[in-house]
Amino acid sequence: MFNLILFGPPGSGKGTQSENIVNTYNLEHISTGELLRDEVARHTPLGVEAQKYMDQGILVPDEVVIGMISSRIDESKDARGFIFDGFPRTRLQAESLDKLLEFKNTKIDLVLALDVSETELISRLLGRGLTSGRSDDTKEVITKRIKEYRAKTEQVASYYDGYGKLETVTGNNSVEDTFKLISKNINKYLLPVA
Ligand code: B4P
């Protein structure tokens, strides 16, 4: 099993690149953003709670997200591996994920961090906001999300760097060029299926 964390600020292209990785390496994609948006759309109690945070651009409480991840992993027992997209976003989430995977006799192999300038992030998210209908893609909320990232999420990179698992790639260029850099790193662990 090969487990990858795709890491980076809001709008760095985690969701976009996850699609390419799934198609090339046949890994199971787990996006906490998508899981939460699905709960919101279905008006579940978890979704109603999560929406309050997401609409303001702040992180949903750790315990909500961690419980959700555990059940999602259990749904795909025969997976070749997982891509964790947008998770972990706090040090506590990272420690919990490590414990959870250890319990399931597996581990994180690689953390790929997408490095993108702040001007580019804002421009991409504002662009997406024109069509996405997402309540968190407005100027005010985007600024708040980037602030949350700097305050709570950035430290997750140094946590994994401490275990020698972190690789940083530039994500400022085109989707195709960024994917080439990502593939170069994944190929050291896993061969493409197609
Ligand atoms: P997420 O859904 O994870 O959203 P994101 O960070 O905005 O997206 P991403 O980096 O995947 O960008 P994308 O590929 O879409 O989180 C949303 C909210 O959910 C959070 O604010 C938080 O409240 C909550 N949440 C999620 N996970 C949580 C957790 N673990 N704990 C607590 N709360 C949590 O790309 C963005 C845009 O850029 C797209 O329009 C795309 O087309 C474009 N783009 C991508 N790559 C490009 C490139 N190379 N060139 C040009 N454009 C590009």
- pLDDT in 10s for each residue of the chain, 194 residues: 999 999 999 999 999 999 999 999 999 999 999 999 999 999 999 999 999 999 999 999 999 999 899 889 999 988 999 999 999 999 999 999 999 999 999 999 999 999 999 999 999 999 999 999 899 999 999 999 999 999 999 999 999 999 999 999 999 999 999 999 999 999 999 999 96
170 CB within 6 A, ligand 1: no
pLDDT of residue 98: 97
Which amino acid is residue 37, in one-letter code? R
Tokens of 132: 């996405």
| Whether the model pTM is above 0.85 | yes
Q: Write down the residue that tokens 């390496």 correspond to.
A: 25
124: Cβ below 6 Å to ligand 1? yes
Is 14 one of the catalytic residues? Answer: yes
User: Is residue 150 flagged as an active site residue?
Assistant: no
**187 φ/ψ sector (left φ>0, alpha ψ -120 to 50, else beta):** alpha
Residues in the chain: 194
- Tell me the helix, strand and coil percentages in the chain, rounded to 5: 55, 15, 30
What structural domains and CATH numbers belong to the chain? Answer: 2-27+79-186 (3.40.50.300)
9 C-beta closer than 6 A to ligand 1: no
CB 186 within 8 A of CB 25: yes
Q: What is the pLDDT of residue 194?
A: 65
Q: At 155, list the tokens.
A: 């430290």
Helices and strands (H, E) in the chain, number of each type: 9, 5
User: What pLDDT score was predicted for residue 71?
Assistant: 86
Q: Which residue has the tokens 């581990």?
A: 107
Q: What is the biggest distance separating any 2 CA atoms in the chain, rounded to whole angstroms?
A: 43
Preceding amide of 88 cis, omega within 30: yes
Annotated catalytic residue within 91, 128, 152, 165:
128
Q: CA 58 to CA 50: how far, in whole Å?
A: 10
Q: Is the CB of 89 under 6 A from ligand 1?
A: yes
Query: Is 124 noted as a catalytic residue in this protein?
Result: no
The dihedral of CA 170, 173, 177, 178: what is its sign? positive
Q: Could you tell me which residues are beta bridge partners of residue 5?
A: 84, 111
